[in-house]
Structure 1
Amino acid sequence: MTSHEAFIFASGAGYRVDFDPEWEGYVITTPDRPRHPSQQLGSYKQERSAWLDAACLALEWKKP
């Protein structure tokens, strides 16, 4: 999966990646789901790594 494909897939599933100065890195914000409130995960030095992990999380959520 390329970085661009990861961005499209994860953002389409409702994930966001933002720079957080408090964490001094990029954090993944998960979408709000029933019985699963939104969370901020990780602290990544590179935005690309955060988007790839967000895509992996989105893939795991879609599994039956």
Structure 2
Amino acid sequence: MSFSAEQVKNDFPILTQIINDEPLVYLDNAATTQKPTAVLAALETYYREANANVHRGVHT
């Protein structure tokens, strides 16, 4: 199995940005990390379709 850095890079939308006429290069650090498109899509689906606190405000 071969590794394609360009294919992996395409999974991270932020890396399409051009800053000071240069492509953005992002190195991970302890403060934050970038998320690939698949994770962003899963988060969006969660917040649109599943995010709920079904028992909040229910008094018994």
TM-score bracket for this pair, using the shorter chain length: under 0.3
More contact order relative to length (CA 8 Å, sep ≥ 6): 1
> Rg bigger for which structure?
2
TM-score (norm 2): 0.25
Higher strand fraction: Structure 1 or Structure 2? 1
